[in-house]
Amino acid sequence: MMTEIYDLIIVGGGPAGMTAAIYGARAKMRTLLIEKAKHGGQAATTEEVENWPGAGKTTGPDLMKQFREHTEHLGVEMIKEDVARVDLQGDVKVIETRKGNRYEGRAVILAPGAHPRTLGVKGEGPLRGKGVSYCATCDADFFTELDVVVVGSGDAAVEESLYLTKFCESVTMIVLHPEGTMDANKASQERAYANPKIKYVWQSAIEEIKGDGIVESVVLKHLGTGELTEMPTNGVFIFIGTVPNTEFLKDTGLALDPRGYILADPETMATNLDGVFAAGDARQKWLRQIVTAASDGAIAACAAEKYLAEEEHLRSEVLEPKEPVLAVFWSPASKESLDVLSWAEQANTAAGGTFKLARIDLYKSARLAKRYGVTQVPSVLLFVNGEVVDRLEGNFDEFTHWLTEKTAVAAANRR
Amino acid sequence: MLEVNKETFEAEVLNAGGAIAVDWWSPQCEPCKELMPEVEAMAGKYGASIKFCKVNVVENRRLALANKVLGLPTFLFFKDGQKVAELAGPEACTPEAIEAELKKLA
């Protein structure tokens, strides 16, 4: 049975993946979205969202529900599966899931997202779910009228601390930096400072989380003096950044940075592999927000569409024709390349139309040019059965002669 | 799945005997809600030998604390009234891990 090949497969159903799916569907690409758990990714467990333009003050779950409805409404095929293995190097990309299903697509957008980073201190693992938490919306309820600490000082740490104050008696932020310095945006910092329930321990880190079955205290280390103090608490919420969900992409030929983030061109989201794009938090980038994830998704989908159009053009005009193909790389800015185009057309017609002519605009098809090692215009490549058999670059003084010769060879081969 | 609460937990779980799986969840817990269909499916599959219960912790906070449930999702597995296994937190509560515990329990 022939498997259907998707135009676009998106791995990950967070804001980046869903936005890519919306753009993909609107561009009439046959789009498949694979998400292993809850659509919305990390945003779906972020309670307060106040920087999604146009929404005012909203919540992550609400916003992600709207994303999902929007995506579904456009007819995107969505499946709930966990991707186990990928083969991204060929023209047709293969995605295999843990259930053992296999999906094929001509272009892939990787938007697997990230998960919370762990502190790596003693007691953290055994007390996870026992007072150690990485999700305030999930667990805040348990700490009603109790005291908790929050580790971190970035946007997530401050915003989740504010959320926790709705439940907890006190929220103590453990901040690495000296007094008055936090990594979060200024607006959130000001709200935190104005909230009487939030306290601070500056220039300190957690050394150990203690408790018999449930969290009872944390051991804090002052980074200036090295002094250790034990502080009783009922819960430890950890928001110290994220780790990309790219384990399944290791050793696939895809370029990752040393921390596992996908390296992609910030202009087009293209990775080092043809037809493979990256979007969202799993990409090495400067600002990780819902809005930048959505932006990545939009760019990646448009770049994927362009890639598919180029590939289709290449196949139908250059690789698949039965007759030999003369591919002329040109640019509107190079008069010489326009001359070559016109000579090629005249000479070919005069010689009885031996070749099929393909015009390729170098700048619009930069990736294609790179694939065939074309760096200048004019350049002429002769394809037979999809393979480059000859090329002419640089000096076109003898072009007509060269073309006559190739025509004779082609004619001889046909006989 | 049987919804149990602070009034019924003792009778339905602790004193009921046999193999019992308890899913602790809350309406705010997105990972819990996402797991629910798969847990329901497992309840269908293993329902003959294991009793499946769920507790909404928002309405039963004390009961949760008494069972040292302090994070969601959490799954507790009981055999003849004794807790024999536990999965706590979204990383631990994967459908695969839950099913593995059910197989041990059945």
Based on the fold, state whether residues A250 and A336 are members of the same structural domain. Answer: no
What 3-state DSSP class applies to A310?
Answer: helix
More confident residue, A322 or A276: A276
The DSSP 8-state label assigned to residue B14 in this structure reads I
Report pLDDT for A70.
96
Asked if residue A251 is part of any domain, the answer here is yes
Whether the per-residue pLDDT at A2 is higher than 60: the answer is: no
Q: Would you call B7 an interface residue with chain A, using a CB distance cutoff of 8 Å? A: no
Residues on chain B touching A100 (C-beta within 8 angstroms): none
| CATH number, domain containing residue B10 | 3.40.30.10
Report pLDDT for B31.
87
Place of tokens 């932020």: A173
Give how many domains chain B has, as a whole number: 1
Enumerate the H helices of A145-289 as residue ranges.
155-164, 186-194
Instruction: List the Cα angle A330/A331/A334 in 5-degree steps.
Output: 100
Among residues A238, A271, A302, the one where a domain terminates is: A238
Based on the fold, state whether residues A305 and A401 are members of the same structural domain. Answer: no
Average pLDDT for A168-185: 96
Whether the per-residue pLDDT at A312 is higher than 60: the answer is: yes
Q: Which of B25, B30, B55 to mutate to test the interface with A (most CBs of A within 10 A)?
A: B30
Which two tokens mark A152? 């971190």
The whole domain housing B31 covers 2-105
Asked if residue A127 is part of any domain, the answer here is no
Burial of A401 (0-12, 13-18, 19+ CB in 10 A): exposed
Based on the fold, state whether residues A224 and A276 are members of the same structural domain. Answer: no
Q: Give pTM, 2 decimals.
A: 0.81
Complex ipTM tops 0.90: no
Give how many domains chain A has, as a whole number: 3
Based on the fold, state whether residues A302 and A402 are members of the same structural domain. Answer: no
The whole domain housing A162 covers 132-238
Asked if residue A95 is part of any domain, the answer here is yes
Whether the per-residue pLDDT at A358 is higher than 80: the answer is: yes
pLDDT band of residue A408 (cuts 50, 70, 90) is confident
Whether the per-residue pLDDT at A415 is higher than 70: the answer is: no
What is the signed CA dihedral for A100, A103, A107, A110, rounded to 10 degrees?
-30
| CATH number, domain containing residue A378 | 3.40.30.10
Report pLDDT for B10.
94
Question: What positions of A carry a catalytic annotation?
Answer: 135, 138-139
Based on the fold, state whether residues A150 and A80 are members of the same structural domain. Answer: no
Based on the fold, state whether residues A207 and A272 are members of the same structural domain. Answer: no
Q: Which of A12-16, A191-195, A375-379 has the lowest mean pLDDT?
A: A375-379
pLDDT band of residue A49 (cuts 50, 70, 90) is confident
Residue A400 CA to residue A218 CA, distance in Å, equals 82
Report pLDDT for A1.
42
Based on the fold, state whether residues A247 and A231 are members of the same structural domain. Answer: no
Based on the fold, state whether residues A233 and A246 are members of the same structural domain. Answer: no
Asked if residue A309 is part of any domain, the answer here is yes
Asked if residue A54 is part of any domain, the answer here is yes
Residue A386 CA to residue A316 CA, distance in Å, equals 10
Among residues A190, A209, A238, the one where a domain terminates is: A238
What is the signed CA dihedral for A353, A356, A361, A365, rounded to 10 degrees?
-170
Whether the per-residue pLDDT at B14 is higher than 80: the answer is: yes
Residue A213 CA to residue A289 CA, distance in Å, equals 36
Residue A107 CA to residue A94 CA, distance in Å, equals 10
Based on the fold, state whether residues A309 and A331 are members of the same structural domain. Answer: no
Summarize pLDDT for A109-146 with one digit per residue, the tens: 999 999 999 999 999 999 998 999 998 988 898 899 99
Report pLDDT for A25.
96
Q: Would you call A140 an interface residue with chain B, using a CB distance cutoff of 8 Å? A: yes
Based on the fold, state whether residues A112 and A247 are members of the same structural domain. Answer: yes
Q: Are residues A265 and A245 in contact, defined by beta-carbon separation less than 8 angstroms?
A: no
Residues on chain A touching B58 (C-beta within 8 angstroms): 141
Based on the fold, state whether residues A292 and A332 are members of the same structural domain. Answer: no
Report pLDDT for A281.
96
Q: Would you call B30 an interface residue with chain A, using a CB distance cutoff of 8 Å? A: yes
Report pLDDT for A3.
67
Based on the fold, state whether residues A248 and A108 are members of the same structural domain. Answer: yes
Residues on chain B touching A129 (C-beta within 8 angstroms): 69-72, 74, 88-89, 92
Among residues A208, A238, A268, the one where a domain terminates is: A238
Whether the per-residue pLDDT at B63 is higher than 80: the answer is: yes
Report pLDDT for A364.
84
Asked if residue A122 is part of any domain, the answer here is no
| CATH number, domain containing residue A253 | 3.50.50.60
Question: What value does the mean pLDDT of chain A take?
Answer: 93
Contact state of B70 with A130 under an 8 Å Cβ cutoff: yes
Residues on chain B touching A133 (C-beta within 8 angstroms): 70-71, 89
Report pLDDT for A350.
82
More confident residue, A2 or B34: B34
Whether the per-residue pLDDT at B24 is higher than 60: the answer is: yes
pLDDT > 70: percent of chain A: 99
| Nearest residue of chain B to residue A212 (CA atoms) | B68
